[in-house]
Amino acid sequence: MNIDEIPFLRDNKWTITPILYFLLLVSVSALFLSINSSDEYIDSRQNEIDGIALNAQFRGDTNALGGYSPQSHEYAIISKILSSNNFRLKSKKSSLQNLSVVSSVYALDHGNKVIGIGYVASNDGDCRKLRAISISQLGEHYMTRNDDSLSEKISWKSEENKFTFRSFLLLNSLDYSLDQNSAVGFFVGQVSGKVNENNIEKLEQTFYGSVYVYAFECYFCDTFLVVSGIGTGSTDYETKDGSIYSYSGWGIQIYGGYQWYFENNVSFTIGLGPSYSSSSKQSENLKSSVDYEKDVEDYVKNRTFQPISSLPLLLVGYTF
């Protein structure tokens, strides 16, 4: 079946295509979350970790739990958070997000009341992921670095941070984090510049679409990532006689890059990658008897596939 034979699909295919792509990303992400639903996730509305609730009476056997002595680095740091050193610090292995070596910790007063709960990790990888989880799930985090047994420690509060706005002059995007490694979103942009090829003086391009991001380490930390996007848009090519040739179509970009994430929730992302586009002429506004249609058509065809996209990924972001 040729979609051009269906008037509605033919007239709206440049809008329908990115929407369908976005829905596909949402469906795949929902399937991923469903498969991994057995993992334990932090919830800002649930004051409980591994079945032990904050401000509740601990009913289990404290001897069955591990613990930290008052002389340990962990005890010293958590005592600063609680502004007290009149408690016992217990712990046990946690299954949080399937991280490798993460313990849930519980501060118990002398009446076995739970006065503090949290997580502790002692290796760089898990600490970075804990930091990302705290930012994405619960907002503010507090972290210190130590060269001894405790690499980082985190406490958190406030509302969820799920959105990241990214911008750098030509492109603006907003994405929503699905979990600690992935996000979906949309982008809009406008590009104009000189061409000076094939009798084309300059071009002006507007575009919008949807995007999927996968971060290898964690979405809210320093990490390598892959960004894929599909969008639609239009481009006006101005030839040297002032004529305008207007094209519209769709395109796909895949970037590999790196993100630097700072403690004030600001990030900087760079990346390069291939792109593919398909477009056709919609109209022309001729200013002379010279016909540059073939020159413009050749230029567009030569840029259908680019091993390295002429529009690199270069964005400053803020998570909120």
Residue 187 has pLDDT above 90, yes or no: yes
When the pLDDT of each residue in the chain is averaged and rounded to a whole number, the result is: 78
Residue 199 has pLDDT above 80, yes or no: yes
pLDDT band at 150 (very low <50, low <70, confident <90, very high): very low
Q: Cα-atom radius of gyration of the chain, to the nearest Å? A: 26
Residue 18 has pLDDT above 50, yes or no: yes
Residue 25 has pLDDT above 70, yes or no: no
Residue 37 has pLDDT above 70, yes or no: no
Most confident stretch, 70-79, 96-105, 182-191: 182-191
What the chain holds in terms of domains, given with CATH numbers, is 3-36+162-319 (2.40.160), 48-157 (no CATH)
* Helix/strand/coil (H/E/C) assignment for every residue in the chain: CCHHHCHHHHHHHHHHHHHHHHHHHHHHHHHHHHHCCCCECCCCCCCEECCEECCCECCCCHHHCEEECCCCHHHHHHHHHHCCCCCEEEEEECCECCCCCEEEEEEECCCCEEEEEEEEECCHHHHHHHHHHHHHHHCEEEEEECCCCCCEEEEEECCCCCEEEEECCCEEEEEEECCCCEEEEEEEEEEEEEEEECCEEEEEEEEEEEEEEEECCCCCCCEEEEEEEEEEEEEEEEECCCCEEEEEEEEEEEEEEEEEECCCCEEEEEEECCEEEEEEEEEEECCCCCCCHHHHHHHHHHCCEECCCCCCEEEEEEEC
pLDDT digits (tens, 9 = 90+) for 84-125: 888 898 888 876 655 667 788 888 888 888 888 877 777 777
Residue 129 has pLDDT above 60, yes or no: yes
Residue-level pLDDT at 207: 92
Residue-level pLDDT at 17: 63
Which residues contact residue 196 at a Cβ distance below 8 angstroms, ignoring those fewer than 6 apart?
A: none
Least confident segment among 47-56, 226-235, 298-307 = 47-56
CA distance 274 to 255: 7
* Mean pLDDT of all residues in 22-39: 59
Torsion over CA: 218, 219, 225, 229 (sign): positive
* Mean pLDDT of all residues in 176-200: 89
With a pLDDT cut of 70, the percent of the chain lying above it is: 71
Residue 283 has pLDDT above 50, yes or no: yes
pLDDT band at 259 (very low <50, low <70, confident <90, very high): very high
Residue-level pLDDT at 26: 66
Joined together, the tokens standing for residue 295 give 């020159």
Q: How far is CA 202 from CA 64, 276, 286, in A?
A: 73, 21, 15
* Mean pLDDT of all residues in 282-302: 92
Alpha helices in the chain (DSSP H): 7-35, 73-82, 124-138, 293-302
Q: Is the pTM of this model over 0.75?
A: no
Residue-level pLDDT at 200: 94
